[in-house]
Structure 1
Amino acid sequence: MADWTQNLPPAAKAYLDGRRLDEVECIISDLPGIARGKAVPASKFARQEYFHLPDSIFYQTITGDWGEAAGEDGFIERDMILKPDMSTATAAPWTGDWTLQVIHDAYDRNGTIVPFSPRNVLKRVCQLYHDKGWKPVVAPEMEFFLVARNLDPAHDIKPMMGRSGRPAAARQAYSMTAVDEFGPVIDDIYDFAEAQGFEIDGITQEGGAGQLEINLRHGDPVKLADEVFYFKRLIREAALRHDCYATFMAKPIADEPGSSMHIHHSLLDVKTGQNIFSAGDTSETDAFFHFIAGLQHHMADALAVMAPYVNSYRRYVKDTAAPINLEWGRDNRTTGIRVPLANPSGRRIENRLAGMDCNPYLAIAASLACGYLGLTEARLPKDEFKGDAYEGEGDIPQVLGSALDLFEQATALHGVLGPEFARVYSIVKRAEYDEFLQVISPWEREHLLLNV
């Protein structure tokens, strides 16, 4: 036991200092971003080099149904070989005993990576960048709501009760008083993040009732996706300690803004470490404009990955802090692609379309894939948008079905993300969408039952 625990990341070692490790959770992200895996005694984990799960975990919809994506051999549920990435070992500080979590990578029996495992998809895209001599750097922003417990799906979601005894109020963006309303939950979020070795760049109140945003420091895309994957669970656990839910739905409350996962991008030259979006004279480079053009040209095709559910598209409404088009602008939060204020070394491009309901591995992979295609195709963007982009027309799909139509035809995007991933993802999301279309909504019963 002592041998392998001595090589743990510093935060995990500090968490276990003077304590006896009881259990290790061996986990992997499925397509929705849910942690799948097994919990094993620490003594068993010390002896195992890998464990097995069936490949069918990647064919499952968010409802627990299945897409017919198993391929020509049929639905035989082959075992995958899941190998730990010990650099991801981190505490599970909400558990009753001393537990670690470890993210695993998926391989088939021949040692080949499973191409539709989300973490493998992101690694594939990052490798394409490295092959060109570029190092991608990202910084995700996570928005979410703290809401009252919702035990009956037929009931509307309500804001949580704040420290004052009143429900969380909306339209209080950046208010420190509003943040204080959720102080006990935020304290646990900070404590859990510290135990797990995660650095939070800041927590702010957003525009919705009970809506918060957490910013993470920029870094390696796979590492940051791992952190968002971990953070979703961490935040949910912190909320449950205080009799409320944390939700990452894109649009949980009808009259409130939605929740996004803005993704900031920059690119470094592998040899020099310089930001290739900035020239020696500090001006913007061709690569800077090619990346923007890639987002403009390909992001509609990728939207089914960044906005993966029917609810995702309820967020894209004019004047509700979510973009409706693929315009770009400097320091303009009404555009879908924003260039924030920054010095030349920190020049970056922000994708504002991705919803917080996304799988972080897949959304970051898709966003990077769009930028990569712009770079390799040497595209040029439209002219910078000046003014309020909400005054323009929307140019992104308005429903999941339309987004899937575009994704299924996007062969260039499939070539970057992986054709086998694209095949499986499309089948699973179609199955999920078809299932949704069988549900009769309260709106239909209210307005159509006796009037048509």
Structure 2
Amino acid sequence: MSAIIEMRESMTTEDAEKKELVREMLKKQGIEFILTKFVDIHGVPKVKQVPVDCFDDVTESGAGFAGAAVWGMGLGPEGHDLMARTDLDTYCQLPWIPNVAIASCDLYVDDEPWFYCPRTNLKRMMGVLAEKGFALNCGFEPEHFLVERNEQGELTPWDPLKIDNLAKPCYDFKGMCQSMNYLQDIIRYGNQMGFGIYQSDHEDANGQYEINFDWTNGLHAADRLIRFRMMAGQVAGKYGAIATFMAKPFDDKTGSGAHLHFHLADAESGENLFPLRPGETDWKGLGLSKTAIHYIGGLLKHIKAITAIASPNINCYRRIQSGEFVYSSTSGYTWTPSFASYGDNNRTHLFRCPGPNRFEDRSPSGMVNPYLLLAAQIAAGLDGIENEIDPGDAIVGKNVWDMSIDKRRELGMIMLPQNLLEAVEALEADEVVRSGLGPIGDEYVRLKKAEWGEFMRHVTPWEVDRYLTVL
């Protein structure tokens, strides 16, 4: 008992010292206000702005929120307050509003951790991972569009010089030049916040861009993606544009993803566990350890349920259509997997292995809630490791997109769900992935089924054009 008390006192002392360091940092930076930030079930950031004089309050008791006013918090109007307590490791100055600092928060109700909070739930799952001796390191690559509305209210790519009109605009110099100031602001501000942005580019669609981040642990990678979206929206407005992470804002252009690079590391040493171990046989010919292969096996086994999280709304499924139906984009490719495969450094796979140090998941939508995605993947990946799930042979040197649908099925590839309802029903039936979401799982299924029902009650212009006078 005395050892436990000593440990708690030591942790309290450590937190107190950290708190004073943060307080001093805020003072030196001239911070006047703090944004206490958490996300709802959809990954939408929610904040309160508090004066820096309330620093003690938001670190100890938290900023108060009405839980029923936020999607997916498991509280009705009679519920007790959600208290958002700041994580001392996440404070940073907002470079574009330098008198403001932002901090990621964990939610509490009646002084107990509230596991409807996506961030709190991810911390739970990372704790489960650590108990097994693992840590998750990853980095997102957020694609997004800069758009504007014309005088008729129609959505168009942001193109002030009217030069971003190539059929294959990816990496185009002229297209990028007109957005260079925006991208430089993003890189400068992001790196001031510790993102480790190492490149940016014009992506495959007109008006589309991508940013690449350094590796970090899973929790901070999710924090970083949310902050990036917040920043992009603010910076785009400076140039008269709207930054959108909508998965498919244009029916004839490539959609936006949030590609995820990841590996497992040893929880104590930090050593990457995906490369082949000394003396270990190269089982699948990719230079990967059995830990890596079994982790991918778990992800592939549970991919339909994970898709409900990776592609969280109706529009996302415009991006991952299977090819069994007529589909095209102006560049010729969707760049999005519709079948679940894994293999070498080949962008036609869902799980691409650029090298033996990591995998890239190419399926997540630009609108993904990263906390929920990582929690779901941890549950599925651990299932793969613990049950030694074999994902089958790696597909090497082949273009999956050029294969017939029958050939893909013959090779054991699972088709991803083709609409939100199909994905949510898969999630509802998958106990492993649901375990990674905790109580959020039931709330998520309920809200997404309601979203599907609302969508099905709407008549689209396409339907009117197609069917109004067909008979």
TM-score normalised by L of structure 1: 0.88
Give the equivalent residue in structure 1 for 2:382.
372
Q: How far off is 1:47 after superposition?
A: 4.6
Distance in 1 (CA, whole Å) between partners of 2:104 and 2:271 is: 31
Give the equivalent residue in structure 2 for 1:159.
157
Post-superposition CA distance 1:368-402 (Å, at most 9, x none) = 33222211221001211241212243611100011
* Local SS of the residue matching 1:190: helix
- The count of corresponding residues between Structure 1 and Structure 2 is 426
Distance in 2 (CA, whole Å) between partners of 1:186 and 1:81 is: 35
Distance in 2 (CA, whole Å) between partners of 1:183 and 1:258 is: 21
Give the equivalent residue in structure 2 for 1:304.
308
Distance in 1 (CA, whole Å) between partners of 2:154 and 2:118 is: 32
Q: How far off is 1:52 after superposition?
A: 1.4
Give the equivalent residue in structure 2 for 1:7.
21
Q: How far off is 1:233 after superposition?
A: 0.6
Post-superposition CA distance 1:152-198 (Å, at most 9, x none) = 7xx54211114x44345451223344322211211221232133232
Q: How far off is 1:355 after superposition?
A: 0.6
Q: What is the aligned counterpart of 2:239 among 242, 247, 255?
A: 242
The answer on 1:438 being equivalent to 2:470 is: no
Q: How far off is 1:122 after superposition?
A: 1.4
Cα pair 2:35 2:100 within 8 Å, conserved: yes
Q: How far off is 1:431 after superposition?
A: 2.0
Give the equivalent residue in structure 2 for 1:63.
none
The change in CA–CA distance for 1:36 and 1:268 in structure 2 (over 3 A counts) is same
* Local SS of the residue matching 2:171: coil
Aligned ranges for residues 27-106 of structure 1 at < 5 Å?
A: 27-48=37-58, 49=60, 50-59=62-71, 70=75, 75-95=77-97, 98-106=99-107
Question: What do you get for the CA RMSD once the two structures are aligned?
Answer: 2.4
The answer on 1:292 being equivalent to 2:306 is: no
Instruction: Give the aligned residue type for 1:413.
Output: V
Distance in 1 (CA, whole Å) between partners of 2:151 and 2:87 is: 37
Distance in 1 (CA, whole Å) between partners of 2:171 and 2:422 is: 35
Deviates more, 1:39-48 or 1:436-445: 39-48
Aligned ranges for residues 370-409 of structure 1 at < 5 Å?
A: 370-386=380-396, 387-390=398-401, 391-393=403-405, 395-409=415-429
The change in CA–CA distance for 1:168 and 1:227 in structure 2 (over 3 A counts) is farther
Give the equivalent residue in structure 2 for 1:64.
none
The change in CA–CA distance for 1:165 and 1:388 in structure 2 (over 3 A counts) is closer
* Local SS of the residue matching 1:439: coil
The change in CA–CA distance for 1:220 and 1:392 in structure 2 (over 3 A counts) is farther
Distance in 2 (CA, whole Å) between partners of 1:206 and 1:37 is: 31
Aligned ranges for residues 147-296 of structure 1 at < 5 Å?
A: 147-149=147-149, 155-162=153-160, 164-167=161-164, 169-277=166-274, 278-281=276-279, 283=282, 284-296=288-300
The change in CA–CA distance for 1:59 and 1:150 in structure 2 (over 3 A counts) is farther
Aligned ranges for residues 131-146 of structure 1 at < 5 Å?
A: 131-146=131-146
Deviates more, 1:243-252 or 1:278-287: 278-287
Give the equivalent residue in structure 1 for 2:9.
none
Cα pair 1:80 1:106 within 8 Å, conserved: yes
Cα pair 1:9 1:89 within 8 Å, conserved: no
Q: What is the aligned counterpart of 2:348 among 334, 340, 359?
A: 334
Q: How far off is 1:108 after superposition?
A: 1.7
The change in CA–CA distance for 1:148 and 1:358 in structure 2 (over 3 A counts) is same
Q: How far off is 1:151 after superposition?
A: 8.4
Q: Which has the higher contact order (CA 8 A, sep 6+)?
A: 1
Distance in 2 (CA, whole Å) between partners of 1:149 and 1:26 is: 32
Q: How far off is 1:271 after superposition?
A: 3.6
Instruction: Give the aligned residue type for 2:105.
Output: H
The change in CA–CA distance for 1:257 and 1:212 in structure 2 (over 3 A counts) is same
Post-superposition CA distance 1:259-304 (Å, at most 9, x none) = 1111112111224433222211474322121011111100111111
Give the equivalent residue in structure 2 for 1:118.
118
Deviates more, 1:387-396 or 1:249-258: 387-396
Instruction: Give the aligned residue type for 1:120.
Output: T
The change in CA–CA distance for 1:242 and 1:207 in structure 2 (over 3 A counts) is same
Deviates more, 1:78-87 or 1:235-244: 78-87
Distance in 1 (CA, whole Å) between partners of 2:461 and 2:244 is: 22
Cα pair 2:36 2:47 within 8 Å, conserved: yes
Instruction: Give the aligned residue type for 1:301.
Output: A
Distance in 2 (CA, whole Å) between partners of 1:206 and 1:38 is: 34
Post-superposition CA distance 1:230-266 (Å, at most 9, x none) = 0001011110000011110111111111111111121
Distance in 1 (CA, whole Å) between partners of 2:130 and 2:199 is: 30
